[in-house]
Every structure is written in structure tokens, then in C-alpha cells.
Structure 1
Amino acid sequence: MAVSAIETVEGRALLLVAFAKTGIRLVDSGWIKALELPAKITGGLFAASVLILLVDGSDALNLHKLGSWAQPLVVVVVILSGCLFASSIIAEVWQATESYRLKRQSKAHHKKRVQEFIADIPYLTENEKVILGYLRHYKQKRFTGAHDAGHARTLLSRGYVRYIGVAGQAIDPRDVPFEVSSHVWEVVEARPDDFPHRPKYSDKTKRVEVFPWRERLF
């Protein structure tokens, strides 16, 4: 009996290995691509196989005349095509709503960043507020400055302003393009009292207003 039990276990193990190899060959041969079939194909196959089962036994069709294997085969086709049809529908719905979901996630991320900037306003330096106030006053979301952003370097480090140069663009290190981040600009425009315009001039004549982010070299 012990020998018989061992042989039974070995036989089952060999059978499992054979099934595994068969499954691997099916995957390698491209059967897995059936999961990528569009809903109109899998739906048509599902509807056709269901229709065959419905008319089976009538004058139009009798599966038993084809053999005892015919009806079970159609049942298997119904189950498989039904599963494929359902997965195709789910995949197409997911793909159709992808842009909506991405847009919703983007709005949620933007709103979060707005709230984080508002919470950080009390901790901004006076010079940081003046820089943003100057840009708000002149409706100038973009500006140029030294490569280290000058007095706006802390705004740069916090992500409140960012570089906007593109790959391959020739840039003078004294005039690097910057832009106020969208979530910051939204708050700056909505709360002008927090970002006052306090002009400073290059001389006593008050003819030329200096850029508050520029550092004087001499």
C-alpha cells in the first residue's frame, strides 16, 4: 500500500507538471492575447454561444447529434467568452474615464499645494512677499534673474518659483527665465494685502524701479 500511495503521489505530481508545461506553451503561443480583444468581438462570441444554447434541442439545432462533447464545449465557450466580455467592458470603461480621473487627481493635488502655501504665508520673509507683490502689481508671472534667483532663491528652493528654460536653449546665467508656480500665483492674486507692492528706486529721482529679486553687484 505504501508503494501504491507513493506511485499515486508521483503520478499526480507528474500530471501537475504536465499541466504547468501546457499552460506555459499556451501563454507562449499567444493565447494570453485573448484578454486584449475588444468588447465587440468578445461580446459577439458570448452572444452567439448563448444563442446556440437557447436554440439547442429545437428543429434548428441539436447539439447531441454532433456528439456528447458538443454541448459541454459550448458551455465552456459561454463561460470563457462571458468572462472575456466582462473584462473588456471593464477595461474600456476604465480607459474612457482615465482622463477624468487624472484631471480630478490633478485638481486635488493643486488644491493641496494651494492650502500648503497659504499656511506658509505667515513664515515668508518681508522680501519674499515684496518680490511676489511686485510681480502681482505688474501682472508679471514670469521674470528673468541670476541663475541662483538672487533674493528669490528661497522662493525657488520652496518651489514657489521655478526655472522655465527648455533643453537646448541658450541662456545667459545673469538672465535665467523663471516663473511663479500656478498654485502660488493663484493665492498671490487673490490676497493682494499679503503681497504689497513696495517699490524701490535706483536713485533719488525715482525714475527707475529696481527689481526686488536682483542683488546689487557693487
Structure 2
Amino acid sequence: MSSKSSQFIVDRLKSRLSRLKRSVITAGRLHEEEIQSQRIRITPWMITLTYAPGVEWSQLHITETIKSVRQWCERRGVKFRYVWVAEIQEKRKLKHGGHCLHYYIVVWLPGHLNLPKFDKRGWWCHGMTETVKARSPVGYLAKYASKGGKTNQFPKVARISGSGGLTAESRWQKSWWSMPIYVRERFDNFLHRPTRLKGGGFYSRLSGEIIDSLYEVVKLSPLIITPKQVFKYA
């Protein structure tokens, strides 16, 4: 974020990558905490999905893959816990062009189950896959979320992360951690379930309290914001 006087130009790409990292790491941590609280033996698996040269990307590819794994878990009566993150292979993009996007997925399964190979099952028919047991799943997620690549190189409609299988309470926590720091300080418990209001500000679903945004938008392109003169609580 660069500044001139009291106005700030927001680096949208850096901001998006920061949100990506926080979302992915938080989801992974919450999965681990839920598993530890249940005292069940779980094995985390790391899956890498890459595209073969010349294969066109589609936003449905990762959606269909996740759907296939979910159905496999449902048939076995197990919860489908997962987090995934997308990454741009910048060196490959510079050399060959194209989208050069690939995915990393962490799936947590009961210890007695082995996760099948995605390509052999037909869950990923667009290139190569690698499936290994993950010793430090949250660490892996943090590593790849930090790398990410230049977010302006992702296809415009591409989702760059996702997760599933968390309890409702953990989803509230994940949402709370995605809020700006000043919102988390005011609504200091995830049970507030703060939500953004249309036109600015944040609303607590627990107390009904509304707080203003600290900043207002001056210009959209580039995104320029300025601090509000007064921070009001309503």
C-alpha cells in the first residue's frame, strides 16, 4: 500500500495474495484443531494436480475433482475434510505461455483409508497427479499459499482457494479471521459472526451492533482509499 498525503493506493494483487494465505492457513489450522479434539486417527494427504501442455484450463476442473472425491468419501461414510490452493508456475509460464496453473489439495482421511490416485480414478484427466502422505499439512499449505504466484496471472474467473468439511463453529471462526483487525478488536469473539454491510461498515449478528469502516473509497481504478475523519459506533 503506497500513500500520498492521507490517501492510500491499495495494491489489489498483494491484498488478494494476503487474503489467500490467511484463508488457507486458517482453514488448515481449524481442521487440525477439530481432529485433535475428537481424538481420532487421521492421515493427511497432499495431492498435486498439474495440467499437461496444451490443455486448456476450465473453472469446472477443480470443482468436478472435488465433487468426485466428496462422493467417494460419502460412499465410505467418512467426512470429506479438505483445503486446496491454486498456484501459477511462473517459470513455465515465461517459457511456454498459457495459464500454467496447478493445484495443491490437502485431504484428511481416517487412518485405515488410502486415498486413490486421482488420475487413475478419472478424477483428474487433464494432466499428471501426485499423491503423498503429508507430515505437516498446515505447513505445506502455508508454503504454497505464500508462493501463489502473481495473482494477476490467474484466469480472471479462477477461484484460487477453497475448503470444506469444517463444522459450523469453525466456519464462523474462519470468517472472523478474514475480517480487518479493527473489526476483530471491536467484535472480539468469533460468535459475533461479523458481516460486511452494503455501502460500508460491519454488523454483529450476536449483538446487533454496527460499526463504520475505517476507510472510504476515493477512486476504484486504481483503488484509492482515505481514512474517515470519525470512527463511529452505532
Q: TM over 0.5, yes or no?
A: no
Structure 2 length normalisation: TM-score? 0.21
Structure 1 length normalisation: TM-score? 0.22
Larger Rg: 1
Structure having the higher strand fraction is 2
Structure having the higher helix fraction is 1
Which structure has more relative contact order (CA 8 Å, sep 6+)? It is: 2
